[in-house]
Every structure is written in C-alpha cells, then in structure tokens.
Amino acid sequence: MAKLILLRHGQSLWNAANKFTGWVDVPLSEQGRAEATIASCKLKNNKYHVDICFTSMLFRAMETAVICLTECDEICGGKTPIIKHDATDEDWHGWDKYEGNPEEELPLYTCAALDERYYGALQGLNKTQTAEKYGKEKVHEWRRSFSVPPPGGESLEDTMKRALPFFQNRIITHLKHGDNVLVAAHGNSLRAIIMSLDNLSPEEVTQLELATGVPIIYDFDESGEATNKIILK
C-alpha cells in the first residue's frame, strides 16, 4: 500500500517573527531546520521510505524536503535527491539534457500550485499588530476561513483551486502506481489537500491547524483512495 507523507515546512524566520509570509521567499530558522531533522528521524524510526518528492517553489518548503530526505538517508534508500527543474522555463540551463538514474536518484519536483496562499497586503506585517489594528475576529477570518481572502490576497478556496488539481492529476498518479510520496508544502496548500482527503466541510476546515515539521501519513490503495491516517507527533 502506497504512503502519502504530508509535511508542513519547518519554522521559517518570519514564523519566528510572527509575520505573515505568503509568497515572500523566507528561509527556515535554526528551529525550522531542527524540525525538519526531527521529521526525518521520525520517518526513519517508523520505517517509512520515500520514492518521489514534491514541494512548492518556495525555499522554506524545498529546504525542509532536502533536510528531511538527507539527514536520515535510509528514508530514500541511500539515493541522492535530484531537483527536477522545468526545462521550459526562461532560465533554462539544459536541465533535461540529463535523463537521470532511477536506481541511484530520487526525483524532487517543485510546483507553484503547492505554494502557500498569497496573503496580499498582509505580507510582511506582524500578526499581533495586524489583529490590534483590524480586530482579532477579522484577522482570524482572513487566516482560517474557507472563502474570505485577506486584502488583495487568496482565500483557502482560491488556494484549493490550484493545489487540488495538481494533487489529483500528478501526485495521486504516483500513489496509484505504488510510489511513496513526500509532499513538503505549506499550512494552507496542505489544508486544501487535507480538506479533500478528510472530507471536511468549509466550516470544519476552519478548525484545522497544522504544526510545522510534523509528518502526516495517509495509506493509499491501488484505486487512489486514502484508507488510513497517522500523525507522527
């Protein structure tokens, strides 16, 4: 039975500073790197292994994935994670000239569909100060509601419209083939995926909180249906 491992990135420098981050490309903090290492150890100790990895285009998610895959190399069977760049990008550097060696390498794909939701005018602002200015209830609505976006930004519903099709068309295909998949992404792109997997209503998803660096594992059968869920706290 294939495993889907969902992992919110470790604490970023702006998580530590209590700032809205969104699409601002902020790296992990020292604690965030430690959280990714701990996640790697948890997966190793529970004898999970990974065949393929997907992350967002944001560095904090990529950094988390690479640390998780390399701190305990048993997770990827001693293979080297290789970041697979899009050869159609303007800054193409001949990425597709190397076909790869599946026996020695683990592919890591990046995709903007898995990016954190865009926080618009809130990006870079302190969360506590923003709550003082607009009110705690309004800021909570912007952060946790399904359909209400922050000023100039995306709602969770907007994020779901890009994250879920990618998950269904790309990631579930690998799960149906029996591959164990690691997805390192963000609180809201993962909330969108989990909302679908757990059949949560728009009201129920407002209560869903994802800790940084904590692996969530789903079992998938050959039909692409999730059958079981475990959180490695």
Write out the binding residues. Answer: 8-15, 21-22, 60, 116-119, 127, 143-144, 187-188
Total length of the chain: 233
Our answer to whether residue 140 is catalytic in this structure is: no
Closest CA to 112 of 154, 144, 173, 71: 154
Residue 28 near residue 68 (C-beta atoms within 8 A): no
Other beta carbons within 10 Å of 32: 24
Which residues neighbour 95 within 8 Å (Cβ) at sequence distance 6 or greater? 84, 85, 86, 87
Write the Ramachandran bin of 18: left for phi over 0, alpha for psi from -120 to 50, otherwise beta: left
- CB contact at 8 A, 217 and 43: no
Annotated catalytic residue within 35, 116, 154, 186? 116
Q: How far apart are CA 194 and CA 68, in angstroms?
A: 21
Which residues are CB-contacts of 102 (< 8 A; sequence separation ≥ 6)?
none
The closest alpha carbon to 180, from 69, 37, 72, 101, belongs to 69
Q: Pick the catalytic residue from 9, 35, 154, 186.
A: 9
CA-to-CA distance for 196 and 80, rounded, in angstroms? 32
Is residue 116 among the annotated active site residues? yes
CA distance 83 to 14: 25
Annotated binding site for substrate: 8-15, 21-22, 60, 116-119, 127, 143-144, 187-188
Q: Which residues are identified as catalytic? A: 9, 116
